[in-house]
Amino acid sequence: MGTSATLFKVFDIEVRVHWSFVLILAYGAFQYSSSASNPMIGAAYGVLVILLLFVCVTLHEFGHALVAKRFKVNVPYITLLPIGGVASLERMPDKPLQEFLIAIAGPLVNFILAGLLFPLLLLFRGLQNSAITFDNFNQLLAQMQSPGVVNLLIYLVVTNLALGIFNLLPAFPMDGGRVLRALLAMGMTYVDATRIAVFVGRIMAALFALWGILDVNIFLLLIAFFVYVGGGSEREAVESKAVLRNVLAEQALTSNAVNLYTSERVDRAVDLIMSSYQTDYPVLDLSGRFVGVLTRSRLIYALKEVGPEARIVDVMVKAEEIPICSPSQDLSVIWELMVTKGSRVVAIKRANQLLGLLTLDDISEVFQVYGAKLAGPGRPADSDTMLAAKPEALDA
């Protein structure tokens, strides 16, 4: 996301645009410059068409985002890309009906926009006594590319209808694929529903790719790639969560973990890390109260910038910055919290008593063991995919 710039923020949702968006504007200017008697007017019209198209895409994404927020799902940002937009949801709701409503909200926005714009099209067509050609699709496309208010409205009506229909295709993880998964999950497990939706999505990806090759359409090839890769990644993430739901935090704690104290120096942690597998250490004050964590990254920073004589209390992550979980929470909830907070470590506490720390390494190890046990011979668990998981995304 470092390659994206924030345009504005509304409803606590940032709208970002990727730098590559300028490419689609340039493409629009080039594509439409030949459709007008004056190439400059055609190029300006092409830029306007692309900008209005992405206004519709942004409204589509807000359809997803606002329904998601209605179900207490945080949506930190929407990103506009040359192939569409992405609303980044921090998680998907557990209830299939809620996922169904979130997924279908985007296409419904496009159908509503088409319905609102169509009366305007009829009005301006009457005022300008303009004809709308419906003899064949190619003639309609040619009319849409010519500068003019009526032609622009035709473009927006047709495009919104096309966006709504296209996004409802069962190509998981696109909207239609998520609708399919939600409907399937009403009668089977979420994991099985995801596997079926991904399988159907990959069939659609193959069709998109074939269409893109035959039509020499790079956008269809990009969508095919996104559907194929994105669907597989989400299936593995869902399977990972299913495994981690079977393990409680207290079961994953290391029984012989070592604590550090605020009065000690960094070289004490160096001695410990060289003689054990522990890489992150709870830090207690002299009264035994949990006050922070010396993480592996903070330890390395201290050694490089300050030296082994630095005090642990000066380089540790303060306890207020560490997410807190109870021992009865399952690892899927804790992993989701880590991804959301951007933290590789959480503190497990019962009341005010610190029971220990859980890190991404701990969860990875648990997943490898339990995942291999559940998967059976010939199907190893893939913890790398799980740990690379990102917030959920819905796109147009």
Quick check: is 388 in a domain? no
**135 & 222 share domain:** yes
Domain that residue 194 falls in = 4-246
Domain assignment of residue 241, yes or no: yes
> Is it true that the peptide bond before 173 is cis, omega within 30 degrees of 0?
yes
> For the ranges 178-187, 229-238, 356-365, 382-391, which has the lowest average pLDDT?
382-391
Same domain flag for 221 and 282: no
Q: Is 61 a catalytic residue?
A: yes
Helices (H), 71-187: 96-128, 137-144, 149-167, 175-185
Residue 9 sits in the same domain as residue 71: yes
**Structure confidence at residue 1 (pLDDT):** 46
How many residues would you count in the chain? 396
> For 273-292, what is the mean pLDDT?
86
Answering whether pTM is above 0.75, one says no
Which residue from 42, 44, 5 is spatially nearest to 21, judged by alpha carbons?
Answer: 5
Domain co-membership, 161 together with 219: yes
Residue 226 and residue 175 in contact, taking contact as beta carbons nearer than 8 Å = no
The answer to whether residues 392 and 86 touch, using CB atoms and an 8 Å cutoff, is no
Q: Is residue 368 part of a domain?
A: no
Residues 134 and 276 in one domain: no
Strand partners for 86: 79, 395
Stretch 64-73: mean pLDDT: 93
pLDDT at residue 376, as a whole number: 54
pLDDT of residue 394: 58
Average pLDDT over residues 44-70: 93
Query: Which of these, 16, 22, 20, 21, lies nearest to 1 by C-alpha position?
Result: 16
Same domain, 257 and 199: no
Band of pLDDT at residue 383, cut at 50, 70 and 90: very low
Buried b (16+ CB within 10 A) or exposed e, 127-160: eeebeeeeeeeeebeebbbbbbebbbbbbbbbbb
Residue 384 — very low, low, confident or very high, per pLDDT cuts 50/70/90?
Answer: very low
Interval 92-127: pLDDT, tens = 787 899 999 999 999 999 999 999 999 998 888 776
Residues 6+ apart with CB under 8 A from 137: none
Picking from 224, 246, 268, the residue at the C-terminal end of a domain is 246
pLDDT of residue 244: 83
Among 189, 221, 246, residue at a domain's last position: 246
What is the chain's mean pLDDT, rounded?
84
Annotated catalytic residue within 61, 99, 239, 392 = 61
> Could you give the C-alpha distances from 80 to 85, 91, 178, 194, 332, in angstroms and in order?
4, 20, 20, 26, 30
Integer angstrom CA distances of residue 360 from 274, 343, 367: 20, 9, 10
Domains: count for the chain: 2
Question: What letter would DSSP give residue 382?
Answer: -
CA distance 244 to 238: 10
Residue 356 near residue 206, CB atoms below 8 Å: no
Confidence of residue 138 (pLDDT cuts 50, 70, 90): low
pLDDT tens profile 189-247 = 888 999 999 999 999 999 999 999 998 888 888 889 989 888 888 888 888 888 888 88
Residue 370, domain member (yes or no): no
What percent of the chain lies above the pLDDT cut of 90? 31
Structural contact between residues 175 and 104, judged by C-beta atoms closer than 8 angstroms = yes
Whether 339 contacts 244, CB under 8 Å: no
State yes or no: pLDDT of 131 exceeds 60. Answer: no
Under 8 Å between Cβ of 50 and 25: yes
**Cβ count within 10 A of residue 211:** 14
**Pair (23, 57) in one structural domain:** yes
Half-sphere exposure of residue 104: CA atoms within 13 angstroms, side-chain side: 11
Query: How is residue 99 written in tokens?
Result: 């996922």
Residue 83 has pLDDT above 90, yes or no: no
Residue 382 lies in a domain: no
Rounded Cα gap, residues 272 and 276, in angstroms: 6
326, part of any domain:
yes
